[in-house]
């Protein structure tokens, strides 16, 4: 099932249900796609304007990156459900089953993979939106701010799905590596998103 091809109202209704998917990971990816698209919107409102002719080539290059990123986020929204399914099944294995430990560990690692990819994509989105905010049309600066806020929400949202799974892992070395990368992304790009938002507030208030 492709969640990203659903009508928005149907996706939201399914998200609110007791269905295990879509969940926080898929929702984070979708929010990331919206954030990236808002950055792209800034570009669309900048290209062709005489006032911004000197940065038009840069904006067009940013738009190409952002369009690819939008598609990646949407793919990850669906992929998150795919990698969560084995974990959902693993939790149903009786605790006295000798195969449960390895199956659970493998499923936990797999379930971390897409949320980590969402975090990495969100970091790239924040970098791109920072450039849109700096070089793009001043008339669309508020959209850059919303895009940055959404990209940070995707970053933070996906991190929860990483941490809840690494906490349950018995392979503490692998869990530590995942946690270290997730914490690094949160620290660097959470702060960068906040800087963009703060800059936008200073220009719109």
The domains located in the chain, with CATH, are 23-204 (1.20.120.680)
**pLDDT above 90 (res 204):** yes
| pLDDT of amino acid 43 | 97
Q: What is this structure's pTM?
A: 0.95
4: confidence class by pLDDT, cuts 50, 70, 90: confident
| pLDDT of amino acid 135 | 97
Can you list the alpha helix ranges (DSSP code H) found in the chain? 8-16, 24-44, 56-90, 100-135, 141-166, 172-204
**pLDDT above 80 (res 172):** yes
Q: How many CB atoms neighbour CB 191 within 10 A?
A: 11
**pLDDT above 90 (res 20):** no
| pLDDT of amino acid 107 | 95
| pLDDT of amino acid 182 | 98
For 185, the token pair is 């992304």
């Amino acid at each position: 099932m492709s969640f990203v091809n659903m009508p928005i109202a149907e996706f939201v209704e399914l998200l609110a249900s007791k269905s295990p998917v879509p969940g926080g990971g898929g929702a984070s990816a979708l929010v990331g796609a919206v954030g990236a698209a808002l950055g792209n919107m800034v570009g669309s409102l900048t290209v062709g304007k005489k006032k911004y002719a000197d940065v038009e080539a840069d904006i067009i290059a940013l738009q190409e990156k952002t369009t690819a990123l939008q598609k990646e986020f949407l793919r990850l929204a669906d992929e998150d459900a795919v990698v969560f399914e084995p974990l959902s099944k693993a939790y149903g294995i009786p605790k006295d089953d000798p195969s449960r430990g390895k199956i659970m560990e493998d499923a936990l690692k797999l379930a971390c993979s897409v949320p980590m990819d969402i975090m990495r994509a969100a970091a790239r989105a924040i970098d791109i939106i920072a450039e849109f905010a700096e070089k793009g049309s001043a008339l669309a600066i508020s959209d850059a701010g919303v895009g940055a806020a959404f990209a940070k929400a995707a970053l933070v949202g996906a991190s929860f799905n990483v941490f809840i799974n690494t906490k349950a892992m018995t392979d503490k070395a692998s869990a530590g590596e995942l946690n270290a990368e997730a914490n690094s992304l949160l620290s660097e790009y959470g702060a960068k998103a906040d800087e963009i938002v703060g800059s936008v507030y200073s220009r719109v208030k």
